[in-house]
Homo-oligomer: A and B are copies of this chain.
Amino acid sequence: MIRITRKFRFSASHRLHAAELSADANRELYGKCNNPYGHGHNYEIEVTARGPVDDMTGRAVDLRLLERLVREHVVGPLDQKSLNADVAEFQAKVPTTENLAIEIYRRLTQAWRSVFPGEWPVLERVRIVETARNIFEIGEAHGQK
């Protein structure tokens, strides 16, 4: 059983503002991230899958398929976008990196079996490196499956 991680990057902007809170509470809660015109990040995401190694090919995950899956469902729709304005899921939800992680994990989980129809590999977790200091992680082990 092997764990394989592939890294991807995309750049997007977001503004943190909770509709149910007052202007003051938003400023207090999100600080500079509440700035009305938003700011942005180079997000780095790491997608980890797990599976047994095939005896004949020596591979546990077909990385071309994983590449296509993540490009189609995550990097393509999010790269160089405004998360608040361009992504339907963040019309109603604050685009914190926590919610972004949940959304990316949801997209990959939903599309996974159409690309990897067998028992293996399974999607184990998604990590987002938001800045050089902040990392967010979600997956199987965190009760999301």
Residues of B within 8 A of A42 (CB): 40-42, 131-132
Bits for A1-33, please: 1 = Cβ < 8 Å to B, else 0: 111111111011110101011000000010111
Q: CB distance A5 to B135 under 8 Å?
A: yes
Copies per complex? 6
Q: CB distance A59 to B98 under 8 Å?
A: yes
Residues of B within 8 A of A59 (CB): 29, 96, 98
Partner of A2 from B21, B50, B136 at Cβ < 8 Å = B136
Main secondary structure of the interface of A (DSSP, over half): mixed
Known contacts A50-B142, A102-B53, A138-B3; A81 and B9 CB within 8 A of each other:
no
Shortest Cβ distance from residue A54 to the other chain B in the assembled complex, whole angstroms: 9
How many of A's residues come within 8 Å of B, CB to CB? 66
Residues of B within 8 A of A9 (CB): 131-132
Which residues of A are interface residues toward B (Cβ below 8 A)?
A: 1-9, 11-14, 16, 18, 20-21, 29, 31-33, 35-42, 44, 46, 50, 53, 56-60, 63-64, 79-82, 84-86, 93-96, 98-99, 101-102, 131-138, 142-144
